[in-house]
Amino acid sequence: MKMVEKLKEFVTRRRALLIAPFAFAGLVAVSSRKGSTGEKVSADSDVTIVPFTDAGVKQPAVRMKRVVKSDAEWRKQLSAEQFYVTRRESTDTPFTGTYYRMHEHGLFRCVGCGTALFLSDTKFDSGTGWPSFWAPAAEENIRNRHDTSMFMERTAVECALCAAHLGHVFDDGPSPTNLRYCINESSLRFVRS
Catalytic positions, please? Answer: 182
Q: Which long-range contacts (CB under 8 A, 24 or more apart) does 50-58 make?
A: 50/116, 50/137, 50/138, 50/140, 50/141, 51/116, 52/107, 52/116, 52/119, 52/137, 52/138, 54/107, 54/191, 54/193, 55/193, 56/105, 56/106, 56/107, 56/119, 56/121, 56/193, 58/137, 58/138
Number of Cα atoms under 13 Å in the Cβ half of residue 78: 26
For residues 45-66, one letter each, b for 16 or more C-beta atoms within 10 angstroms of the residue's C-beta and e for the rest, the string is eebebbbbeeebeeeeeeeeeb
78: Cβ–Cβ under 8 A, 6 or more apart, which residues?
Answer: 86, 87, 111, 112
Q: What are phi and psi of 123, to 5 degrees?
A: -80, 145
Beta bridge partners of 34: none
